[in-house]
Structure 1
Amino acid sequence: MKAWIISISVILLATVIGLSYYLYEVTADPIRDRQDEAITLAGETVDFSEVREVNYYHGSKSYQIIDAVDDEGNDIYIWVEEIKEIEEIDESEETNEIEESEESEEAKIEVRLQSEGLTKQEVIEIVQDELIIERLKSVRLGMIGSTPVYEVNYIDDEDRHSFYYLTFAEGTYMRHYQFLS
């Protein structure tokens, strides 16, 4: 009886681990695909020899931000705007068929030397001097309009979830959002 319980427990545990891994892979695949697509698009415009990291940013538009090294050995950031697929309604036929097609618009690509802007540590020092921060959650690159920015995500002293935006180049204040937790 004890052997049956152990066998069933091992089988159930293996099943749960297998399903968890499968769910993770299914969820992560689209993210990796979008990152790979952004690297390919950036490679058509910029010559780089190494990609260190790719991060996602979603503001009014979505971007993949690539931390890379160009062919001359310079550290660079590449902002690649994600182009959404749109649905078109074909009304020329008797039936209204919905066809997916890629928007004809080209992905906007912005490239900056990392030395042209602030580092994450410099951004942290700026916001700690200007704001009352209980817990810093993240500092990441983003884009507002055509301006590269840092998005600082933190919890303030009144337990509000807050977002503070500074320009990448000078650290100038752009905007600030606060939400009750």
Structure 2
Amino acid sequence: MYKWLAVILACILIAAGITGCVYSKAMTPVKKARDAAEARLKSETDIKSVDEFYLYNGSSTYFVVIGKNSKGKETAAWIPENKKDEVHVKKMSDGVSKQDAVNKLLSEKKPKEILGVRLGMEKELPVWELSYLDENSNLNYYYIHFDSGKWWRKIENL
């Protein structure tokens, strides 16, 4: 009886170890991207601390960082993957909050579940990207302009 228990416990530990290794390997590119974005952030912006990090893959890839600047103001930076392109920086108070973006989605759609809310950049315009499941469990994306709070685009029924 104890031998079976030891074998099962050993299998669980081995499976957990393998899962941890796979996860670590899978996250390596994201960690490298974050490190590169933070290095560029420090050299090109006034943001001193990083509170949130988003990897946004739209028409172009952006690393989006939300943090505090030297005056303690919450600020967002959109860092393009292409190092030749300009970093965009805006105070969070100058745009629509994450909660306001979610409220707009809730007032216009009836999502069964909101999967994610993150900042991105499309055609030089900062946007909130909201991903959600509708009542039929279809994946949908809803985009709102960060500056104005107006609807920009939606991708439905994926």
Per the TM alignment, residue 159 of structure 1 is displaced from its structure 2 partner at its CA by: 4.3
CA contact (8 A) 2:114 2:132 kept: yes
Per the TM alignment, residue 143 of structure 1 is displaced from its structure 2 partner at its CA by: 0.8
CA contact (8 A) 2:42 2:48 kept: no
**Residues 79-101 of structure 1: CA distance to partner in whole angstroms, max 9, x if unpaired?**
11113xxxxxxxxxxxxxxxxxx
Cα distance in 2, alignment partners of residues 157 and 11 from structure 1:
42
Report the structure, 1 or 2, having the larger strand content.
Answer: 1
Per the alignment, residue 170 of structure 1 pairs with 148
Cα RMSD, aligned residues only: 1.7
Q: Name which of structure 1's ranges 122-131 and 32-41 shifts more when overlaid on structure 2.
A: 122-131
TM-score (norm 2): 0.90
Cα distance in 1, alignment partners of residues 39 and 25 from structure 2:
22
> Does the residue aligned with 1:179 lie in a helix, a strand or coil?
coil
* 2:153 counterpart of 1:179: no
2:77 alignment partner AA: I
Per the TM alignment, residue 14 of structure 1 is displaced from its structure 2 partner at its CA by: 2.0
1:62 alignment partner AA: T
> Matched residue pairs, number?
158
Cα distance in 2, alignment partners of residues 41 and 175 from structure 1:
30
Per the alignment, residue 145 of structure 1 pairs with 123
> Does the residue aligned with 1:6 lie in a helix, a strand or coil?
helix
C-alpha distance 70-15 of structure 1, shift in aligned 2 (>3 A):
same
Cα distance in 1, alignment partners of residues 34 and 142 from structure 2:
25
Identity %: 23
**Residues 96-134 of structure 1: CA distance to partner in whole angstroms, max 9, x if unpaired?**
xxxxxxxxx514311000001011111122222222333
Cα distance in 2, alignment partners of residues 114 and 59 from structure 1:
21
100, 111, 125: which one pairs with 1:122?
100
Per the TM alignment, residue 137 of structure 1 is displaced from its structure 2 partner at its CA by: 2.1
CA contact (8 A) 2:65 2:78 kept: yes
Report the structure, 1 or 2, having the larger helix content.
Answer: 2
Structure 2: which 5+ runs fail to align? none
Per the TM alignment, residue 11 of structure 1 is displaced from its structure 2 partner at its CA by: 2.5
